Chains A and B, each alone.
Chain A
Amino acid sequence: MTGDTGLEEQVLERIERARRRKARVREEYITLAHGAGGKATHTLIEGVFLEAFRNPLLEPLEDGAVIDEMAFTTDSFVVTPLFFPGGDIGDLAVNGTVNDLAMCGARPRYLSAGFILEEGFPIAHLRRIAASMATAAQAAGVQIVTGDTKVVERGKADGCYVVTAGVGTLDRPTRLSAAAARPGDAVIVSGPIGEHGITIMLARGELDIQADLTSDTAPLNELTARLLDACDDGEVRCLRDATRGGVATVLNEIAEASKAAIVVNEDIIPVRPDVRGACELLGIDPLYVACEGRMVAIVSQASAETALTALHSHPLGHEAAVVGRVNDDPPGLVLLKTAFGGTRIVDLLVGDPLPRIC
């Protein structure tokens, strides 16, 4: 806006260099921000776990590791409340791992389930969780074949935590990767975003907001199979389920890994009115709100129509939309064309999206 744009550009270049520096964990203690899926989580993973475990299978930091013709992944579930409209911790734990495998392009096959239970937790609740896990496993076509149970003293856990791991088989030659997006590719979102996150916030009962919303938790493996079957090998570049940190975080991960820009249009991104309304009231952006049954797909421009038709043919994808495209410049950045007609960056958040006070 001013005449000193040259100077501003220099400063901005310097900032980009600073951002490319290796992540370093500065905190002395774990804070809640480390678990929110944003920058703090990335720094922790790269600064602690990748440092310690570094190997070629882990390094891409995809949703799961691909080993020969097999995909392998794990996920832990600590949701509060345990039961919420549209699901519970049980189906979430099954669907989460099923989806991580599906995002690798794999057919999910076998799951493990670990339970960390708090002394005093009602057995009736555990039965209910186990039943919904069984139903979810059946729906996704997977079997829970091994498990573990631990009980901790009262106060040492929040009722029940569930950890699942899973393996799937890669039946197709296509290898999906967050680093595979290329300029010109289409960016597809499989359905309305943010329903799970807002449902959980409302189910906690702290907000006194009423909305007719249920979690979007669902297994996406049928949807991904339909998409991959419809498109030629290599035409689907990348699939990611938009869990913690929402669609914005997934897009940033893809832009960063592919060293490409992603440009999305705010007014095409599907968001249900109840989610939008709650987000407006809380001052948070639905792009950062977690989904448990929605994914982002990067598909070649030539296959975009085919991909969309395939997604529309499945109930979980009938509201899928091409929301943007991949560009070459500026690399690593996600840009949003706002519904108002302006432009802005969509960055990774540091931690959870925090409601604004006024």
Chain B
Amino acid sequence: MRFVDEYRDADTARALAARITALCEPGRAYKFMEVCGGHTHTIYKHGIEDYLPEAVTLVHGPGCPVCVIPMGRVDDAIHIAAQPDVIMTSFGDMMRVPGGKGSFLDAKARGADIRMVYSPLDALKIAKQNPSKRVVFMAIGFETTAPSTAMTVLRAKADGVDNFSVFCNHVTIIPAIKAILDSPDLRLDAFIGPGHVSTVIGCRPYRFIARDYGKPIVVAGFEPLDVLQSVHQILTQLAQRRCEVENQYARVVPWDGNPKALAAINEVMELRPHFEWRGLGFISQSALRVSAKYARYDAERIFQIPGGRVADPTSCQCGEVLKGVLKPWECKVFGTACTPETPIGTCMVSSEGACAAYYNFGRFSRERVKEATRQ
């Protein structure tokens, strides 16, 4: 398949892996964080770690949209879904995320009308088809998905649809990276930057990482060779004592991002003073809400929202996993009390979550897997 297979070529990978190994300084251990859950998924799905030398560890970061949704917001959304004549719509990933009182899937089983959509425009279509219903879109994700939510609100306005609103949970990536960099218990050598977010925000916002924290960051694509190449670029920077923002994903990511998408976000949304992140706590100016100008499309203004804060279960160490302090298997409840069937933490829900990816794809001794797969 064109545009896919050329980025998954095993021969190229072997050659690249040899160059990566050659760049590692003897006796030095490297820790790189892939910020984006899409990368975590790619790393496990394709078995990229098999190509990396022992000295290089990939740490899975907070860029999984559903993983950072706090339990209280899930409960709020379920509360909205339980109101009369409401159709709640959501991306598939969100369906199993546990709140304090169960997930969307559970609420749906109890009778709430919750429908899976592939795009916010599908939610708008449902609103047009059901004029007597109030259709709410559970908006989640980073700057990757925020423009499509904003564009849908603009479309709703243009089309005069007044039974559509957005429960906005969009978050922004930069404050989360900064929170991680400021976290005292973490030692990272560099970042693999999020590819899809960067198609919107561009590469400039990452400059503080190199300038103020002295860490290289390479914005990377989502095919396995993209990830390997970005590891190579990081190691090259480290070997040459450089720290810069580099764009490995230039075939998709413009250096300045997508001005139209950013304009749509700025038109419809504004920064919240602070927002709670699952496991990371409150981070100031880290999330978006629908601005007053578009109040009639803002579910938070239309519905009475309980707004309760639900403390993460004490046994759950999602925060440490999201910051990369703990590996998934180092969490106290990983794989025993917390599994994909009965997730305690959000990292175990989405296939982009570090815990779910590790549990589903990597949960076994590398040595035994290598032995078993040897021809």
Contacts and interface: CB of A to CB of B under 8 A. Distances in A.
Interface of A: 1-2, 5, 8-9, 11-12, 14-15, 18, 26-27, 29-33, 39-40, 43, 206-207, 261, 263, 273, 276-277, 280, 283, 285, 327, 329-330, 333, 335-345, 347, 349-351, 354-358
A105 B65 CA distance: 47
Contact of A29 (B4, B38, B106, B365): B106
Given A15-B363, A342-B46, A358-B141, 5 more contacts: A1-B49, A5-B366, A206-B118, A342-B50, A345-B363
A31 B372 contact: no
A337 B46 CA distance: 9
B341 A31 contact: no
Given A29-B109, A31-B106, A339-B10, A358 B4 contact: no
B51 A341 contact: yes
A259 to B, nearest CB: 14
20 contacts: A11-B335, A14-B335, A15-B335, A15-B363, A18-B339, A29-B106, A31-B109, A263-B373, A338-B45, A341-B51, A343-B370, A344-B361, A345-B369, A347-B359, A347-B360, A349-B340, A354-B95, A355-B118, A356-B93, A357-B145
Contact of B373 (A29, A280, A335): A335
Contacts of A327: 372
A137 B73 CA distance: 52
Contact of A39 (B49, B144, B340): B340
B35 interface: no
Contact of A330 (B95, B336, B368): B368
Contact of B105 (A31, A337, A344): A31
A8 B329 contact: yes
The 10 tightest CB contacts between A and B, nearest first, are: A342-B47, A354-B92, A15-B335, A341-B10, A29-B109, A342-B50, A340-B46, A344-B361, A357-B91, A18-B336
A26 B122 CA distance: 33
B140 interface: yes
A293 to B, nearest CB: 24
Contacts of A276: 1
A168 B105 CA distance: 39
Contacts of A15: 334-336, 359, 363
Contacts of B339: 18
B262 interface: no
Interface of B: 1, 4, 8-10, 13-14, 38, 41, 44-52, 54, 56-58, 65-66, 91-93, 95-96, 105-106, 108-110, 116-118, 122, 140-142, 144-145, 196, 224, 327, 329-330, 334-336, 339-342, 350-352, 359-373
Given A15-B334, A358-B144, A345 B46 contact: no
Contacts of B65: 357-358
B141 A344 contact: no
A338 B10 CA distance: 9
Nearest to A10: B329
Interface centre among B65, B109, B371, by most chain A C-beta atoms within 10 angstroms, is B109
A285 B44 CA distance: 13
A176 to B, nearest CB: 25
Contacts of B4: 280
Given A345-B364, A357-B65, A2 B105 contact: no
A208 to B, nearest CB: 8
Contacts of A357: 65-66, 91-93, 140-141, 145
Interface centre among A14, A26, A206, A343, by most chain B C-beta atoms within 10 angstroms, is A343
Contact of B96 (A1, A26, A330, A351): A351
A43 B329 contact: no
Nearest to A1: B57
Nearest to A357: B91
Contacts of A273: 1
Contacts of A283: 351
Contacts of A43: 341
Contacts of B44: 344
A329 B38 contact: no
B47 A338 contact: yes
A30 B109 CA distance: 6
B241 to A, nearest CB: 25
B40 to A, nearest CB: 12
Interface centre among B106, B116, B372, by most chain A C-beta atoms within 10 angstroms, is B372
Contacts of B117: 206
A355 B350 CA distance: 10
Contacts of A277: 1
A117 to B, nearest CB: 25
A237 B173 CA distance: 52
Given A8-B365, A341-B13, A354 B335 contact: no
Given A27-B106, A39-B340, A338-B47, A345 B365 contact: no
B317 to A, nearest CB: 13
Contacts of B122: 206
B364 A12 contact: yes
B365 A12 contact: yes
A295 to B, nearest CB: 24
A340 B9 CA distance: 6
Interface centre among B50, B51, B362, by most chain A C-beta atoms within 10 angstroms, is B50
B65 to A, nearest CB: 6
A155 to B, nearest CB: 14
B266 to A, nearest CB: 20
B329 A343 contact: no
